[in-house]
């Protein structure tokens, strides 16, 4: 049963679409988008919309719209995203041809050589987007250490003793989502919680601010 | 059509590394059920001093009323921020806002309008929404409903057919749509109004209290 009407139930991620005005006088740019299983055409009756707002004044002006997308469609991480731009102003209204892209995931891995952390998260952005997403990484050998789609309070459950019981080396694996063939930038959120020595710690390992890049 | 709401955070102290917004919805007067409905979004770091962070969240048209057995268009938004600072994390207090709606109407006495949207945004123009309007007498199963316009690739054919069908409706035409906002919050609003048939008369504008304007120009300020 759906609880909220019109929004995605379950985990999501943000994907930004950028538009450059080809001529002056444009008053409205809107992204229309819909997703579905591989091999099926778009059902525009279920479309979502996002208005593109000014990104920089240019010239030419650029606008950006953040699309909110599910991490799972019918339980699968691979699916199709269809989108087009609707543009109005300057005496015309038009919809650009629809573009179809493949959404997929990549695994990211954190090796905790010193067995120091109880929880590891992955913070990531897709393409040029500044809109960050978050995934929980699971520790190999500890099935209940987290869910890769989780972003809730379970993220920081102190499970120090359980983690210490896992034979080293400790390897955490998480997933990031994006458009196939396009880059994703990610960093790690490292947490040590519930330590009996009281030396809990939390830090962000972002490769000196640059993050790490991979291609979906 | 859903709508959007911008949440903003301003760093009040040094050492804040990241901020996450946690939010949920309930029926009016209800408490959040975090087990059933828990959304979390990392805020975008916009920089500056003091550092500002924000996120535009997608909002529902209603929540399900299990006792009443239907969708409630009014509901309650619950949210708090989780802050990572100096190697620790802490939470702000839970805040709640009543989300209420208003049915908007534009009366076209002459039958001149062929396309119409409410253009609106809560607080400022940074999370805008276009809500297509329709006369409730217009057949909902038609391929020429306002919501089907955008994915209708032959815009000229659509505009011709829409104008012909509208001409069959007795005047005045009552174009309607719905908007939502936190109770008491300012809603900036214009009408994006179009006369797109016949082609030689094509005209569109963003209408505010002082007449035609550009998008985000002269606008009404509503409080729901």
Task: Give strand pairing partners of B43.
Answer: none
The encoded tokens of residue B175 equal 């174009």
Residue ending a domain, choose from B59, B93, B127:
B93
Tell me if A8 and B25 make a contact (CB, 8 A cut-off): no
Q: How far is B151 from chain A (nearest CA, A)?
A: 7
Q: Pick the residue from chain B with its C-alpha nearest to A203.
A: B87
Alpha-carbon distance of B203 to B197, in angstroms, equals 9
Same domain? B186 vs B110: yes
Confidence of residue A12 (pLDDT cuts 50, 70, 90): very high
Q: From the candidates A3, A46, A55, A116, which should be mutated to test the interface with B, based on the most B CB atoms within 10 A? A: A3
Work out whether strand A99-112 and strand A119-126 pair parallel, antiparallel, or are unpaired: unpaired
Mean pLDDT score, B4-32: 95
Longest CA pairwise span in chain B (Å): 67
Q: For chain B, where are the E strands, in sequence order?
A: 3-10, 16-26, 39-42, 44-47, 52-59, 62-65, 70-72, 75-85, 88-91, 95-108, 115-122, 129-132, 173-182, 186-195, 203-208, 211-213, 220-223
Alpha-carbon distance of B164 to B166, in angstroms, equals 5
Tell me if B192 and A88 make a contact (CB, 8 A cut-off): yes
Say what percent of chain B tops pLDDT 70. 100
Confidence of residue A1 (pLDDT cuts 50, 70, 90): low
User: Residue B177 is part of which domain span?
Assistant: 101-223
Q: Which homologous superfamily does the CATH classification assign to the domain defined by A12-103?
A: Immunoglobulins (2.60.40.10)
Mean pLDDT score, B33-42: 91
- B-chain residues within 8 Å CB-CB of A153? 22, 34, 38
Confidence of residue A143 (pLDDT cuts 50, 70, 90): low
pTM of the predicted model as reported, rounded to 2 decimal places: 0.93
CATH for B37: 2.60.40.2140
Q: What is the pLDDT of residue A2?
A: 73
The encoded tokens of residue A91 equal 């005496």
Give the residue with greater pLDDT, A58 vs B13: B13
With a CB cutoff of 8 Å and minimum separation 6, the contacts of B49 are: none
Tell me if B36 and A204 make a contact (CB, 8 A cut-off): no
Tell me if B40 and A151 make a contact (CB, 8 A cut-off): yes
Same domain? B132 vs B155: yes
For domain A106-215, give its CATH number from 1.10.10, 2.30.30, 2.60.120, 2.60.40.
2.60.40
Least CB–CB distance from B44: residue in A3, A68, A132: A132
Same domain? B169 vs B128: yes
pLDDT, tens digit (0-9, with 9 covering 90-100), for B66-81: 888 899 999 999 999 9
Same domain? B43 vs B149: no
Task: Give strand pairing partners of A32.
Answer: A49, A84
Confidence of residue A91 (pLDDT cuts 50, 70, 90): confident
The encoded tokens of residue B182 equal 């936190």
Alpha-carbon distance of B99 to A7, in angstroms, equals 15
pLDDT, tens digit (0-9, with 9 covering 90-100), for A106-137: 999 999 999 999 999 999 999 988 899 999 99
Q: Pick the residue from chain B with its C-alpha nearest to A84.
A: B151
Tell me if B56 and A28 make a contact (CB, 8 A cut-off): no
Give the residue with greater pLDDT, B30 vs A160: B30
């Amino acid at each position: 049963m759906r609880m909220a009407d019109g929004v995605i139930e379950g985990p999501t991620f943000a994907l930004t679409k950028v538009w450059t005005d080809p001529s002056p006088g444009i008053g409205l740019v809107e992204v229309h988008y819909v997703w579905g299983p591989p091999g099926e055409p778009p059902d525009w009756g279920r479309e979502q919309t996002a208005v593109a707002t000014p990104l920089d004044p240019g010239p030419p002006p650029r606008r950006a719209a953040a699309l909110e997308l599910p991490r799972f469609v019918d339980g699968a991480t691979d699916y199709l995203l269809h989108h087009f731009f609707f543009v109005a102003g300057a005496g015309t209204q038009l919809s650009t041809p629809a573009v179809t892209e493949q959404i997929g995931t990549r695994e990211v891995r954190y090796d905790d050589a010193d067995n120091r952390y109880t929880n590891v998260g992955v913070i990531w952005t897709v393409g040029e987007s500044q809109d960050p997403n978050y995934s929980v990484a699971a520790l190999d050998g500890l099935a209940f250490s987290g869910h890769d789609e989780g972003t809730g309070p379970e993220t920081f459950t102190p499970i120090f003793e359980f983690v210490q019981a896992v034979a080293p080396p400790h390897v955490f694996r998480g997933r990031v989502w994006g458009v196939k063939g396009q880059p994703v930038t990610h960093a790690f959120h490292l947490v040590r919680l519930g330590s009996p020595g009281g030396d809990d710690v939390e830090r962000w390992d972002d490769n000196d601010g640059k993050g790490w890049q991979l291609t979906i | 059509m859903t709508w959007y709401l911008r949440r903003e955070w301003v760093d009040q102290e040094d050492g804040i590394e990241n901020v996450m917004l946690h939010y949920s919805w309930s029926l009016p007067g209800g408490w959040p059920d975090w087990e059933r409905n828990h959304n979390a979004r990392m805020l975008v770091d916009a920089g500056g001093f003091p550092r500002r962070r924000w996120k535009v969240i997608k909002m529902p048209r209603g929540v399900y009323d299990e006792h009443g057995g239907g969708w409630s268009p009014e509901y309650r938004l619950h949210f708090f921020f989780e802050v990572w600072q100096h190697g620790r994390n802490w939470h702000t207090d839970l805040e709640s806002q009543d989300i209420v709606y208003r049915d908007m109407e534009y009366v076209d006495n002459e039958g001149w309008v062929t396309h119409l949207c409410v253009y609106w945004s809560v607080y400022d123009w940074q999370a805008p929404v276009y809500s297509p309007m329709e006369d409730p007498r217009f057949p909902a199963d038609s391929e020429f409903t306002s919501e089907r316009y955008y994915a209708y690739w032959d815009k000229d054919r659509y505009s011709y057919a829409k104008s012909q069908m509208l001409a069959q409706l007795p005047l005045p035409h009552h174009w309607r749509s719905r908007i939502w906002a936190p109770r008491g919050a300012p809603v900036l609003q214009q009408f994006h109004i179009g006369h797109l048939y016949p082609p030689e008369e094509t005209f569109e504008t963003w209408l505010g209290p002082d007449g035609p304007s550009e998008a985000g120009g002269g606008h009404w300020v509503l409080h729901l």
